[in-house]
Amino acid sequence: MLQSKSGTIPTEAKDVVFVVETTPNFKPHFKDIKDTYIKPILEHFTDGLLLDSTVNWFGAASLPTLFCLLEYNNLYGPQENQIKFYEPTRDAYKFIEMIDNLRFVSQDAQIYSMLGEGLATALQVFEGLHEFRKGERNSK
């Protein structure tokens, strides 16, 4: 059985979308951002169920929170990496692995950042997750 910091398993469904810049000039800062912001956010939404790799993750898929990763690059990056959406997961440990596998590529042209497109896509992701959750409720 999964154990959280509070002794209970979170039951309220939440959708969390991380929009991450993957240009090379962001890479030197990414570890600090991951440790200072991303991991604490994941711990909050899982009530501390994620960061110990020795934990038996059997059952993590039953947690209610969906974590989504959306990366954006710039106009001069590889077209397939300008905006990239990763499949949502309920497993925070798997999500950390996705974050750790991000590649920071393309040229250094921040003026052509795809931030606006990344945030617009994130709004569409929330709409899609809302529809997904409605389908989950209807199938029960």
Report d(CA 123, CA 129) in Å as an integer: 10
Statement: residue 73 has pLDDT above 70: yes
Looking at residue 54, what is its pLDDT? 46
Looking at residue 23, what is its pLDDT? 82
Range in 2-11, 38-47, 113-122 with the lowest mean pLDDT = 2-11
Report d(CA 112, CA 42) in Å as an integer: 30
Looking at residue 32, what is its pLDDT? 95
Phi/psi region, residue 16 (left: phi>0; alpha: psi -120 to 50; beta: rest), is beta
DSSP H helices in 39-91: 39-46
Q: CA separation (Å) from 109 to 22, 26, 71, 77, 98?
A: 12, 12, 16, 9, 25
Report d(CA 15, CA 94) in Å as an integer: 16
Cβ neighbours of 81 (radius 10 Å): 17
Range in 23-37, 42-56, 79-93 with the lowest mean pLDDT = 42-56
Kindly list the domain boundaries of the chain, sorted by start residue.
15-139
Statement: residue 123 has pLDDT above 70: yes
Going by pLDDT thresholds of 50, 70 and 90, the confidence category of residue 68 is very high
Note the pLDDT tens digit of each residue in 10-23: 567 788 999 998 88
